[in-house]
């Protein structure tokens, strides 16, 4: 696989830029919609959130499938340890934390029994913002189970699921149907996606022109009300994910956004913890009226969500609370080579 690798650890720079862009967009979406819901009206950031909707999660899932071919043929024990237990551990830890923070309000509305019921329900229906890492192991296991089936059959199956716009009211089947095609596309088309990034890096001006054209088409589809229609949503998701790869490949050439690359390297750290600083900042700004513009509040809440979650990580990773970000040895299915703890990344 081709790409610009970091001399430090062999990471592919454009992949980290893409992950950084996507995680910031995810925090932006939750921050903006949360502020708007609490304030009772929309701000100017709503337009950015709407523009990003067709490609925000498709690209995140596509990137998640890029390196799956490197491990899919390993033993089930190793595969389950790295692709299932790994994510299940962080889901359980942070789902418990999220629910603990929300428990007082939930108990006041539904009683203690309702909170306990919600906790156990969250084991089969993902809770809060953590549905992404809940679904990843489901995708990974399904792909390994079907890896002997010709790829075009599975790809068409995934495309049909996305086009169906399944709506059962349950997170797992609905999001599986909506997102599987993107994980699988990252898996089967990985060599082509890496070649695409290399091509963009070799001809950056053409890459900029393609991005501008895509931006116009994506924006028109969104604001004209077509982006969520069957077939169109699939096309916009796939093309939008490729556009993010274009954008990330260009950023990796300029070296102008290293903080974004750092966010990509630690995307799961941000994803796990951003809800805490996000919620606290939203409450503070809306109650104090220090800032009154809803769009500006959304930007500030986004920034604190990202930076605050990283600060939590820097503070806790070497403390007794390090288990929040690193999986301990006794939560593994196979012996751990050094170091003794597995990073969340």
Residue 152: count of CB within 10 angstroms of its CB: 9
* pLDDT tens per residue across span 18-55: 999 999 999 999 999 999 999 999 999 999 999 999 99
Residue 342 sits at φ, ψ, to 5 deg, of -100, 120
What are 209-252's pLDDT values in tens digits? 999 999 999 999 999 999 999 999 999 999 999 999 999 999 99
pLDDT grade for 336, boundaries at 50, 70 and 90 = low
Quick: pLDDT tens for 165-186: 999 999 999 999 999 999 999 9
Q: Cα(237)–Cα(231) distance, rounded to whole angstroms?
A: 10
Query: Rg of the chain's alpha carbons, rounded to an integer?
Result: 20
Q: Domains of the chain: which residue ranges?
A: 13-343
In this model, does residue 9 exceed pLDDT 90? no
Tell me: the pLDDT tens digits for 99-117? 999 999 889 888 999 999 9
> What is the pLDDT, as a whole number, of residue 10?
61
Query: CB neighbours of 43 closer than 8 A, spacing ≥ 6?
Result: 32, 35, 36, 293, 294, 295, 296, 297, 298
């Amino acid at each position: 696989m081709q790409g610009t690798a970091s001399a430090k650890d062999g990471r592919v720079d454009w992949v980290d830029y893409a992950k950084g862009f996507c995680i910031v967009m995810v925090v932006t979406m939750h921050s903006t919609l949360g502020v708007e819901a609490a304030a009772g009206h929309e701000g100017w950031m709503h337009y950015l959130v709407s523009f990003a909707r067709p490609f925000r999660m498709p690209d995140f899932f596509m990137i998640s499938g890029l390196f799956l071919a490197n491990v899919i043929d390993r033993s089930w024990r190793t595969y389950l340890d790295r692709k299932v237990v790994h994510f299940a551990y962080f889901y359980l830890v942070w789902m418990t934390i999220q629910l603990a923070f929300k428990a007082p309000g939930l108990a006041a509305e539904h009683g203690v029994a309702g909170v306990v019921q919600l906790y156990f329900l969250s084991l089969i229906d993902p809770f809060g913002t953590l549905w992404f890492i809940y679904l990843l192991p489901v995708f990974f296991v399904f792909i390994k189970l079907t890896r002997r089936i010709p790829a075009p059959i599975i790809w068409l199956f995934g495309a049909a699921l996305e086009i169906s716009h399944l709506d059962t009211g349950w997170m797992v089947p609905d999001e599986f149907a909506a997102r599987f095609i993107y994980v699988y596309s990252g898996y089967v088309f990985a060599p082509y996606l890496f070649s695409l990034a290399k091509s963009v890096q070799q001809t950056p001006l053409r890459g900029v022109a393609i991005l501008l054209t895509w931006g116009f088409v994506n924006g028109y589809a969104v604001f004209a009300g077509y982006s969520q229609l069957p077939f169109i949503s699939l096309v916009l998701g796939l093309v939008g994910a490729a556009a993010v790869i274009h954008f990330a490949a260009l950023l990796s050439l300029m070296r102008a956004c290293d903080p974004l690359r750092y966010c990509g390297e630690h995307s799961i750290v941000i994803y796990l913890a951003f809800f805490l600083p996000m919620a606290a900042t939203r409450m503070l700004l809306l109650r104090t009226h220090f800032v009154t513009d809803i769009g500006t509040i959304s930007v500030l809440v986004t920034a604190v969500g990202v930076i605050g979650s990283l600060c939590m990580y820097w503070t806790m990773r070497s403390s007794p609370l390090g288990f929040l970000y690193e999986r301990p040895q006794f939560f593994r299915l196979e012996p751990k080579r050094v170091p003794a703890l597995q990073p969340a990344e």
